[in-house]
Amino acid sequence: MPDTAIAEAPAKAATTGGNILQVRNLEAWYGESHILHGINFDVNAGEVVTLLGRNGAGKTTTLKSIMGIIGKRAGSIRFNNEEIIRATSDRIARMGIAFCPEERGIFASLDVRENLLLPPIVRAGGLSLDQIFELFPNLKERLSSQGTKLSGGEQQMLAIARILRTGASFLMLDEPTEGLAPVIIQQIGHTIARLKKEGFTILLVEQNFRFASTVADRYYVVEHGKIIDGFSNAELAANMDKLHAYLGV
């Protein structure tokens, strides 16, 4: 990006761009616990895709499996037509995939600037600090603040900002609105919309489908380690009754 910019029930393909990620028959284990049971879905370039589901459905495990931080996986994960199911997490990062975990991973002993500069730049095209501060002006004001001094919203902004420096163009965000005030959730939504406009592709895990509906192009519903349904944002209203049943809301 230029410096001036900052198979169970597959959803219909978006018209945003060509297929960038294909996940087929993905299985994953934590030790002896079998978590994913044949996940199938696609993500097209330049779109926002949301994985919806209850706690424990396998959404986070899916992101971690794509990132290569689950020890035991099987199936196929293709990114830009390259198979990465056996790739190490550092190799996957250098291909342009970044993962922002739910727990945010802010280093309490480091200040905001140090947290921002910690991850290495793995590809050209990452955002500069000025571009990051345009997205998150709060961070510029808190540069010398320790990680422990930040609010939950500021920590989430920092966690997202940190991966934008790396040059990754495919972002995986795990529950970015969890526990945040409505005004911060709105800011996160504006940020996701801005990043999409700038050409980023985003795979989002969310339980809050009301928030997801403001940013997502398509949805997949995960239950018991499988994709059980999928639909586009245009089909959201027609699927609300099913969503209430799936998510128990």
Which pLDDT tens digit goes with each residue over 143-170?
999 987 889 889 999 999 999 999 999 9
Q: What is the identity of the amino acid at 104? A: R
Alpha-carbon radius of gyration of the chain: 17
Across the beta sheet with 170-174, the strand order is 97-100, 170-174, 201-205, 48-52, 218-223, 226-232
**β-bridge partners, 99:** 172
Residue 189 CA to residue 192 CA, distance in Å, equals 5
Task: Return the H-helix or E-strand segment holding 11.
Answer: none
pLDDT (0 to 100) of residue 11:
44
- Measured from the Cβ of residue 100, the count of other Cβ atoms closer than 10 Å reads 24
Which domains are assigned to the chain? 19-247 (3.40.50.300)
| Token duo for residue 42 | 């696609």
pLDDT (tens place) for every residue of the chain, 249 residues total = 333 344 343 444 344 578 999 999 999 999 999 999 999 999 999 999 999 999 999 999 999 999 999 989 999 999 999 999 999 999 999 999 999 998 888 888 899 999 999 888 888 888 999 999 999 998 999 999 998 788 988 999 999 999 999 999 999 999 999 989 999 999 999 999 999 999 999 999 988 888 999 999 999 999 999 999 999 999 988 999 998 898 885
Which pLDDT tens digit goes with each residue over 118-136?
888 888 888 999 999 999 9
